Structures are given as structure tokens and as C-alpha cells.
Structure 1
């Protein structure tokens, strides 16, 4: 191996070492998520990071400083989007979308499936991954914003536990978020059959106001769970 060839190899190794730690630091700063849990913006950033990292290692003529600057800019952009998403529900829904109920009270919502371009085969495959082989066993199914499926079985199909043994099966409905960070989540009102006035009535009974609530969940049976901002 010639001297220049050896020097080139050393350069590649050094660049690889630097880019590796830069990308690891970037991923850590953006937060921990599994690949299947990435939001659209996070997936885009991950793909661009991968491209920057690979091109920086493959092409030693490219400025390493420029590559690191690009990575830093992506991280700052993603952190900015995350911050704005926390402050603005409308912005978050515009960027990430909403969770969509494709099965509600045991009934399949074909229009919801079409809206998210989710086929029956996709639904059945996702159910099987949850160890559910009969769609009639499902009371609620929700396609989350990251594309994963969350399900709630019908009361008489839920496996027995020490807490439920000997009790009569009862359909309570799925608890949904109706207040988050002091704001009403109007899109979930229909799921638990509630309204703004009913929520205010419940909060009044708890001697609190919506602005003082960090999280409130409610199901169609009226079961509530409230976490105040100050505990």
C-alpha cells in the first residue's frame, strides 16, 4: 500500500469516527424513539442525517465542517418543531396528523380506513401482530400518528386477571384524552360521547378549571382521570 493510499485510509477512518459521534449526539438530542415510532418529521430528519453521514465518509473532498453544520442545523430544526408542537396543538396536528379510530364500539369505519389509505389486509395484519385473529373481538382500534395500531378488546374477550376474575364483563369504552396541557381536545369528544359543557361540569365538581389541568381522560361510561398542573 502506497503512502498516499494509507493516508487516504486514515482520513476516512478519522472522518468516520467524527461523523459517528456527531450523529449519535444528534440522535440523543432529538430523543429516544424506535424506528417504527418515528413521526414524519423525525423520519425525514433521520433519512437526511443518514445521507449526510454516508456522503461525508464516502467523499473525502467534502468539507467535514459543512457536514457537521448541516447535522447541527437539522437537530436545531427538529428541536424547534418539537418545541412548537408542545405549545401548539394545531401545529402538532398539521405536522403529525391525528390518531384515527378505524374500529369504534365494535364497528368498522370504512371511511376512516380510506382516509388514511389503510386496506383491510393492512388492518388484519396489524391485528394479527397484536395476537388478535378475529376482528369481531375488537371494541376499539386506533391507527396512531406513527402508523402503529392500538386496540382495545371487547370486555368479554379480555384475558382474565386476578382483578377481573369473578366479575361481570362490562363495556366501559376506551379512555380518551379530552383535556391536555390546559386545552380541550375537541376531536376526541365524540369518542367518549361528551361535550365542553359536560367536561366543565366535571371540572367544577373537582373545583378546578381547564387551564389548571395537565391531563384529563374520560370514557363513555363517565369514568374520569385528572392530573392537575400543580400536584
Structure 2
């Protein structure tokens, strides 16, 4: 019982480390070879936990080998287009210039109903509205609508707008993020002064606080759904 507990704990830590080493892309959009490696790692971890007779080091070596191979393959796909084409494949154009590319559908064994379903998922009900539809190497369908069907943007109307930038988190669950405060070129005196302006006398009352590029402070209090903005 204790042996299984120890092995499971160690393997859990090793699998988490392995996923982190392989990169964040492993957790979102997987290439085929990445999916295979993750499945194999999971299987190896399962076998090492269940089979007490199996030497623990064997599972660790096998998992380490898979991580090493994945890092090597990722490096090759990063540096070589030929390697990337062989290992990951190439995107396939299913709709080109508003026309369905039938030979690609047959090659990929995708029927019209499947294509229409994927387009509906992307909020396109009419094929006539689409200029290009591209099946990416990770299986995701990218859709580019025709110019007349694209949403209007400020640039289309020749309206100048300020860039919003990315808000910086300053307070999370009553704790100040010193690193982000410094990144935003702010200091504690500024923060406490802004809190006093909004009648906040205890920082522990704040669930979340952020600041935008215009130094506008936005606060959300604990047990309060409404935010307070300066």
C-alpha cells in the first residue's frame, strides 16, 4: 500500500514535469505526434503504478526517453520546414475562393455534412459567405469570410481608436503582486492613494484588482459582484 502510494506520488510529479518540459502547446492544440507521446506517457505511468513487480526505474527511463524524443522532434519542426511537413503534415484548403475543393475532401475523407457542421460551429451558416476554409495540421478549421461578410471594424470606418493594451493584475485575493506593480511602473504609494480615493481602507477586502495602460484602477470586492472603477 505504501509502495503504491509513493510510486503514484513520484509518477504524478514526473508526469507534470514532463508536460511542462514539452511546452504549453501540449495542453491546447496538439499535433498528432504530440498526442501519441502524451498517451504513451499516461500508459507508462499507469503501468508503473499498477505493476509493483515492474522495476520503477524502467518506467522513469521510458518516460524520460519519450520526453527527450518530443523535445528533439519539436526542435526539428521548429528549424526545418521539410521536417515540419513530414512530421506535422500541411494545412489543407477545403474552400478556396468561395469554391469547395472536392479533391481535398475526398483525400481527407470528409463529407459535405461534416464540413457544414464545422462551419456552423464557427458561426457560418452559408458556404457562399466563405472565401477560404483551411483545415490546420492540428485538426482545427480556420475560416476566412468574404470581404462583404466580415464584421465592420473602426479602420473600415476610418475611425481612430486608442489601443487598450493588456490589464495588469495588481491585487489577487487581498495580496499585492509586487512584480506586476513594478512592471506597470507604479509603486505602493500610488496604489494606496488610489485605494483611499475609492474608500478602501483594507486591502484584504479586494478579491481582484487590475490597472490598464491609462493607469485606470479596476477593483472587485469580495462577496460583491459589482466592480468599482476609478
TM-score when normalising by structure 1: 0.65
Aligned residue among 66, 77, 80 for 1:85: 77
Cα deviation for residue 164 of structure 1 reads: 2.0
How much has 1:32 moved relative to structure 2? Answer: 1.0
The DSSP-based 3-state class of the residue aligned with 1:140 is strand
Which of 1 and 2 has greater Rg? 2
1:176-229 CA distance string (max 9 Å, x none)? xxxxxxxxxxxxxxxxxxxxxxxxxxxxxxxxxxxxxxxxxxxxxxxxxxxxxx
Instruction: Supply the distance in 1 between the matched residues of 2:143 and 2:27 (Cα, whole angstroms).
Output: 20
Aligned counterparts of 2:109 and 2:27: Cα–Cα separation in 1: 21
Q: For structure 2, which runs of at least 5 residues remain unmatched after alignment?
A: 160-230
Give unmatched runs, 5+ long, in structure 1: 1-8, 168-231
1:116 is aligned, of 108, 124, 129, to 108
Residues 19 and 26, structure 2, Cα contact 8 Å, conserved in 1: no
| Partner Cα separation in structure 2 for residue 116 and residue 37 of structure 1 | 19
The answer to whether the 8 A contact 2:31-2:137 is kept is yes
- Following superposition, which runs of at least 4 residues in structure 1 exceed 4 angstroms of deviation? none
CA-based RMSD: 1.7
Match of 2:221 in 1: none
- Mapped contact 1:49–1:71 kept (Cα < 8 A): yes
Aligned to 2:9: 17
Contact 2:93 2:104 in 1 (8 A): yes
How has the CA–CA distance of structure 1 residues 35 and 137 changed in structure 2, closer, same or farther, with 3 Å as cutoff?
A: farther
Report the equivalent of 2:142: 150
Q: Deviations over 1:28-77 (max 9, x none)?
A: 11111265611111011011001001111111221111111101000111
Pick which of 143-152 and 88-97 moved more: 88-97
How far apart, CA to CA, are the structure 2 residues paired with 1:118 and 1:46? 26
- Corresponding position: 1:160 with 2:161: no
